[in-house]
Structure 1
Amino acid sequence: MLHKKDFKYSGTPIENAKKVLVMIHGRGGTAEDIMEVATHLKIENFAIVAPQAYNNSWYPLSFMAPVEQNQPWLDSALELLGELEIELNSKGIPSENIYFFGFSQGACLTLEYVTRNAKKYGGVIAIIGGLIGKNINTGDYLTNFEQTPVYLATSDPDAHVPVERVNRTAEILENKNARVKLAIYKDGGHAILPEELGVANNFIFGYPGPS
């Protein structure tokens, strides 16, 4: 396994938490970086877990490259997330109380993992990402989301993630029974925007205040 089991934790200790937010950093980022975003989310009493990628990258090439060119790193990253979900389940956190937040390369990895393993999750937030591969292989996605809320947000244009791929991802997730909210920000830049976090708080975490 290329990616080691290097999980960073914050928030409520797992043993005291009823819900967990898994945060997946982008290329060149760190677990600590992405966990800082959690200070803007309405997740009181959540445990927060952030895996750290080997060499700060989940796979070497663009997410739009043929899948085989990103192996074995991609499979290793997906396996790592699978191990984390099983570990959380074994500690008393059912998958329906597990939430995911991914940015950029981390958003792509998040979407690929949850769609390959679709079930009722707490919710999914993917900022600037889409399903992985030169051509999306929908044969990898056999189960359904059972109305899991999924928030997809992106910038148009974005140097790394074509808006067409985000739109296609939204279609596939809807076909897999996800409750999708898609937001496209004109010239938003390759960044996590305050507006996106506000919508995430409302749509994913059920915060009733203004977004």
Structure 2
Amino acid sequence: MHTKQVIKAGKQTGEATKALVMLHGRGGSAEDILGLAQHLPVNDFALFAPQATNNTWYPYSFLAAPKDNEPWLSGALAVVNDVVADIEATGIKKENIYFLGFSQGACLTLEYVARHASRFGGAVAFTGGLIGDQIYKENYTGDFAGTPIFIGTSDPDPHVPVDRVLASTAILTEMNAQVTQKIYKNMGHTINQDEISQVNDLIFKES
């Protein structure tokens, strides 16, 4: 199971009015994903990057039956929930909490926010979709109340089928998120400059 190990960066929580939870991909690390922050206008944010045990949030594909990824999946969601609770305990409200993930971390990001839908600051999924061999709508509750969400992916992507991205966008939209979905032809399993520009304009409101 995951132990809660979180690398913090950016503003101290006592000073920051906003927080960004950053979730790394399979085989990545908290340090890796924190490196993305230099490309984002988040100088005023407290940054939180949890580290997955053995660098993996759950062992199998996100398209496996959820029970096959247990107890790791529930453990990963619990880590994110603990981080959010820690942030709220410092006085930062949900509408000022943001989420960002890449690949496995993007899937975890979308799964977490869909299970706890509220008016968040925003969410960014660089190549990800809702988790499961099918989409389990009964797991998703709440109302995003206009929360901006960005999902970008490649067509094709070796790990994330475009149809799962489309289905995830549809469900998040039903839950009143303002979803921007971008599909890039043959981008590969990576993050491109257009995605960075999109999230800076749509989510972080670069001024």
TM over 0.5: yes
Q: Which residue is equivalent to 1:75?
A: 74
Q: Which residue is equivalent to 2:28?
A: 29
Which deviations, in whole Å up to 9, do the C-alpha atoms of 1:115-146 show, x marking residues without a partner? Answer: 00000000000010000000110001121111
Q: Residue type matched to 1:199 in 2? A: Q
Q: Work out the CA distance in 1 between the residues paired with 2:124 and 2:50.
A: 16
Q: Which residue is equivalent to 2:153?
A: 154
- Please tell me the root mean square deviation across aligned C-alpha atoms, in Å: 0.6
Q: Which residue is equivalent to 2:4?
A: 5
Q: Which residue is equivalent to 1:199?
A: 198
Q: Residue type matched to 2:13 in 1? A: I
Identical aligned residues as a percent: 49
Q: Residue type matched to 2:55 in 1? A: N
Which deviations, in whole Å up to 9, do the C-alpha atoms of 1:51-94 show, x marking residues without a partner? Answer: 00000000000000001000000000001111111111111111
The gaps in structure 2 that reach 5 residues or longer are none
Q: What's the CA shift for 1:114?
A: 0.5
Q: Work out the CA distance in 2 between the residues paired with 1:147 and 1:4.
A: 33
Q: What's the CA shift for 1:4?
A: 0.8
TM-score, normalised by the number of residues in structure 2: 0.99
Say which SS state the counterpart of residue 4 (structure 2) adopts: coil
Q: Work out the CA distance in 2 between the residues paired with 1:42 and 1:88.
A: 19
Q: Work out the CA distance in 2 between the residues paired with 1:149 and 1:100.
A: 11
TM-score, normalised by the number of residues in structure 1: 0.97
Q: Residue type matched to 1:192 in 2? A: I
Say which SS state the counterpart of residue 15 (structure 1) adopts: coil
1:91-170 equivalent positions in 2, closer than 5 A = 91-170=90-169
Which deviations, in whole Å up to 9, do the C-alpha atoms of 1:7-46 show, x marking residues without a partner? Answer: 0011111111000111000000000000000100011211
Q: Work out the CA distance in 1 between the residues paired with 2:108 and 2:141.
A: 17
Q: Residue type matched to 2:75 in 1? A: S
Q: Residue type matched to 1:147 in 2? A: G
Q: Residue type matched to 2:64 in 1? A: A
Q: Segments of 4+ in structure 1 off by > 2 A?
A: none
Q: Which residue is equivalent to 1:64?
A: 63
Q: Work out the CA distance in 2 between the residues paired with 1:116 and 1:194.
A: 29
Say which SS state the counterpart of residue 179 (structure 2) adopts: strand
Q: Work out the CA distance in 2 between the residues paired with 1:41 and 1:112.
A: 23
Q: Work out the CA distance in 2 between the residues paired with 1:175 and 1:10.
A: 34
Q: Between Structure 1 and Structure 2, how many residues are aligned?
A: 207
Q: Work out the CA distance in 2 between the residues paired with 1:21 and 1:89.
A: 12
The gaps in structure 1 that reach 5 residues or longer are none
